[in-house]
Amino acid sequence: MVIESLFYFSLAVLQALEDGLKKADADPSVKAVMICGENGKFSAGADIRGFSAPQSHPGIGLAPIVSLIESSEKPVVAAIEGVALGGGLEVALGCHYRVAHVKARMGLPEVTIGLLPGAEGTQRLPRLIGVPAALDMITTGKHIPATEALKLGLVDEIAEENTIEAAIRLANKVIGQPLAPRRLSLKPVPTLPNMEAFLREALVKVKKQARGCLAPELCVQAVRAASERPFAEGLRRERELFRLLLSSGQARALQYAFFAERAVRRWATPAGASWSSANAQPVRSAAVIGLGTMGRGIVTSLVKANIPVVALEQDLENLKKGRKAVMLLLEREAMKMEGGAQRLDFHNPARLQFTVDFDLLRDVDLVIEAVFENMALKKEIFHKLSKICKPGALLCTNTSALNINEIASATSRPQQVIGTHFFSPAHVMRLLEIIYGSHTSPSAIATAMQLAKALNKIGVVVGNCFGFVGNRMMFPYVQQAVFLLEEGSRPEAVDEVLEDFGFKIGPFRMSDLAGLDVGWRSRQGQGLTGPSLPAGTPARQRHGQRYSPLPDLLCEHGRFGQKTGHGWYLYEKAGGRTATPDPWLHNFLARYRDTHGIKARAIDQEEILERCLFALINEGFAILAEGIASGPEHLDVIYINGYGWPRHRGGPMFYASTVGLPRVLAKLEQYSEVHPDVPGLRPNAFLRKLVAVGSPPLQEWMSYVSWQSPKL
């Protein structure tokens, strides 16, 4: 008998599965059962759109069905085509045999949305493939190809062609054979000589990888239960841990992040351009100008996406350096891929060409400029591009903060100029901030979004302002961190609080990594420090606002961070990565406070966290009110994918909604009163408005913005 089930499990699908199984058991003419999916796809498990109400969670209803399958007196064979994910794989684990199509993929991705496989998967999988492989799948949520599943023993057979026929053949072959050895619940978990140490290490590893994130940790606990307890007890533990996760705010935050990443695909601008009406131009070839830190990663990313690239530098010496760096990156990437160098084909000049000749950019569909952050230089390059490139070519700049309109003004085609802000390392980081200027055409935006997709990145469309969204929100955050040092804290204390919150690295470790000189040059350019600063400017004030010269002073001492071996921390050598607290810096801070008559005070963790995060969030409200982003989800996706914001906290704006807007407002008011010369702490009017109207849910915020946002 064949039981066909729908791609996503719903209560109706579960009922149909149960009915089918009972019918098969009761019918003496049925000798074996095969479960397959509809239209060539086994099942992606439960539809997480229904996850908001814990009691109706489909995972909870699935477990008895999986047991029912396993206890069937007739052999049940799963025919896995397409994907078997989450509950889908758990159903397959309940079956006595599994046949998968060679192109099928399998996985238990629950951990990525803050849960664990709650339909007995944490107990059956280790029994089938052993603790190490099961832990790897359950704690990472990765999808594995059928060939790997066969090696692990997760499937019994692979079908090159017709999976259903292969499954039926297998079912016919096993009719009459004893089923007990095929019932995973009856099997012991394969032992390891050092199981206890292995589990302990696994726990340490997941805790380190996702600081503060509950799901991977609880997944380890569930698998531990499988290895230590009888099946029924292990199940009780799995259920207990599942409920704990379901009721934690983290699952909600992770599911919000999942949907936010989909929501940002539907971009819109205040002028009315939107994803639904704009058409992308094909990108069949590209060029990258500047092969420094960013350019080399961007070239790598394009080659990986199979887009032929012309890579250009300013002179032969830099070209040689850039080429070497790109080749190294590509070789490393090729090693990670199936098919390796051959697949990437980067030694073929038709796929990747290095040059110093702008004329070679004549025919490319898109150019990405990644030269020094200098307006005059960027304008010179765009002027050249405007003359050389073919009429339809999209001209992109990777600037971190400069005005897109001004760059576009150097061309005769501002409608084709757009910001594509990659993050470092550009071939790894998933975020692509896409910045439209006043003249950028809807088609240019759509093309940049299409490019993001081709590069396997998440494109977020934002408006043009200094620092765009990500860096603009980062400025007040870093500013607060430095002010906290002035007032009595230390870099390691501030970093620790933010790392405990879940950031991959705190603000001081981050600036040491990025290089303190980058910001220094930018501030010199803005006239905030350096020779252009008017004589008599107070050391700790600019334009009537509080300013901290601390980062400038460090640069004046040659402390640029990791690259010079010291910055906010001390490193083992120039280019070293291990940060240790630096007594020199502590003395320096003490002298600085003395010079400026600042009395150091003890600053508690709550104040560190709130001042840094709430200043960042406050800027987020300003960005929303100005129409720079279409919604809070956009800000959150940018922060999760570009700035190491802990995903399990759902992004800064989601976090603000969980803290409660009245509390965020009250705290900002309190800090602002103590620091009236710090505009970043002054509550934004939009935040005030939202609190005044009763703090509506995040999804409704944009309806309170004064400018009329086009309906997404």
Judged by CB under 6 A, does residue 524 bind ligand NAD?
A: no
Q: Is 468 left (phi over 0), alpha (psi -120 to 50) or beta?
A: left
Q: Which is nearer to ligand NAD, 213 or 294 (CB)?
A: 294
Strand-pair partners of 14: none
Among 91, 128, 164, 312, binds ligand NAD (CB under 6 A): 312
Q: Which two tokens stand for residue 256?
A: 């919000």
Judged by CB under 6 A, does residue 371 bind ligand NAD?
A: yes
122 and 226 in contact (C-beta within 8 Å)?
yes
Binding mask 673-702 for ligand NAD (x = CB under 6 A): ------------------------------
Cα–Cα distance, 89 to 210 (Å, whole number): 25
Query: Given the rule CB under 6 A, which of 174-182, 306-314, 531-539, 574-582 is the region that contacts ligand NAD?
Result: 306-314
DSSP string, 536-591: T--TTEETTEE---HHHHHHHTT--BGGGTBSSSB-SSTT----B--HHHHHHHHH
The set of residues, in sequence order, having a beta carbon less than 8 Å from that of 166 and lying 6+ positions away, is 79, 99, 157, 159
Residue nearest to ligand NAD (CB): 292
Q: Which is nearer to ligand NAD, 378 or 611 (CB)?
A: 378
Q: How many C-beta neighbours within 10 Å does residue 175 have?
A: 10
Q: Which two tokens stand for residue 371?
A: 């030269």
Q: Give least dist CB 402 to ligand NAD, A.
A: 7
Q: Give least dist CB 648 to ligand NAD, A.
A: 25
Binding mask 415-434 for ligand NAD (x = CB under 6 A): ------xxxx----------
Binders of ligand NAD among 384-413, rule CB under 6 A? 398-400
Q: Which two tokens stand for residue 451?
A: 């490019």
Of 88, 86, 184, 79, nearest in space to 130 by CA: 184
Q: Active site residue: 70, 110, 120, 610, which one?
A: 110
Binding mask 1-40 for ligand NAD (x = CB under 6 A): ----------------------------------------
Q: Give least dist CB 318 to ligand NAD, A.
A: 4
Q: Which is nearer to ligand NAD, 135 or 294 (CB)?
A: 294
Q: Is residue 90 flagged as an active site residue?
A: yes
Q: Give least dist CB 385 to ligand NAD, A.
A: 11
Residue count at the site for ligand NAD (CB under 6 A)?
26
Query: Given the rule CB under 6 A, which of 74-82, 255-263, 288-296, 650-658 is the region that contacts ligand NAD?
Result: 288-296
Q: Give least dist CB 540 to ligand NAD, A.
A: 27
Cα–Cα distance, 87 to 99 (Å, whole number): 17
Q: Give least dist CB 609 to ligand NAD, A.
A: 25
Determine the residue type at 581: P
Residue whose structure tokens are 């992770």: 254
Sign (positive/negative) of CA torsion 152, 153, 157, 161?
negative
Q: Give least dist CB 359 to ligand NAD, A.
A: 13
Q: Give least dist CB 254 to ligand NAD, A.
A: 27
Judged by CB under 6 A, does residue 517 bind ligand NAD?
A: no
Binding mask 470-509 for ligand NAD (x = CB under 6 A): ----------------------------------------
Q: Active site residue: 90, 313, 487, 607, which one?
A: 90
* DSSP letter, residue 402: S
Q: Give least dist CB 547 to ligand NAD, A.
A: 22
Q: Is residue 619 flagged as an active site residue?
A: no
Q: Which is nearer to ligand NAD, 96 or 421 (CB)?
A: 421
Among 140, 318, 415, 605, binds ligand NAD (CB under 6 A): 318
Judged by CB under 6 A, does residue 289 bind ligand NAD?
A: yes
* DSSP letter, residue 390: -
480 and 674 in contact (C-beta within 8 Å)?
no
Cα–Cα distance, 458 to 452 (Å, whole number): 6
Cα–Cα distance, 17 to 92 (Å, whole number): 13
Of 16, 21, 48, nearest in space to 33 by CA: 21
Q: Give least dist CB 373 to ligand NAD, A.
A: 3
The set of residues, in sequence order, having a beta carbon less than 8 Å from that of 613 and lying 6+ positions away, is 477, 501, 652, 655
Cα–Cα distance, 637 to 446 (Å, whole number): 18
Judged by CB under 6 A, does residue 302 bind ligand NAD?
A: no
Determine the residue type at 65: I
421 and 433 in contact (C-beta within 8 Å)?
yes
Of 111, 75, 77, nearest in space to 92 by CA: 77
Q: Which is nearer to ligand NAD, 113 or 299 (CB)?
A: 299
Q: Which is nearer to ligand NAD, 394 or 661 (CB)?
A: 394
Judged by CB under 6 A, does residue 145 bind ligand NAD?
A: no
Judged by CB under 6 A, does residue 294 bind ligand NAD?
A: yes
Cα–Cα distance, 712 to 698 (Å, whole number): 15
The set of residues, in sequence order, having a beta carbon less than 8 Å from that of 242 and lying 6+ positions away, is 59, 60, 115, 116, 118
The set of residues, in sequence order, having a beta carbon less than 8 Å from that of 327 and lying 6+ positions away, is 346
Helix/strand/coil for 708: coil
Q: Which is nearer to ligand NAD, 358 or 483 (CB)?
A: 358
Judged by CB under 6 A, does residue 292 bind ligand NAD?
A: yes
Q: Which is nearer to ligand NAD, 320 or 596 (CB)?
A: 320
- The gap between the terminal CA atoms of the chain, to the nearest Å, is 46
Among 90, 313, 492, 633, binds ligand NAD (CB under 6 A): 313
Among 111, 291, 448, 678, binds ligand NAD (CB under 6 A): 291
Q: Give least dist CB 433 to ligand NAD, A.
A: 9
Q: Which is nearer to ligand NAD, 185 or 400 (CB)?
A: 400
Cα–Cα distance, 659 to 695 (Å, whole number): 11
Q: Which is nearer to ligand NAD, 289 or 449 (CB)?
A: 289
**Residues classed as catalytic:** 90, 110
Which residue ranges make up the site for ligand NAD (CB under 6 A)? 289-295, 312-314, 318, 322, 370-373, 377, 381, 398-400, 421-424, 514
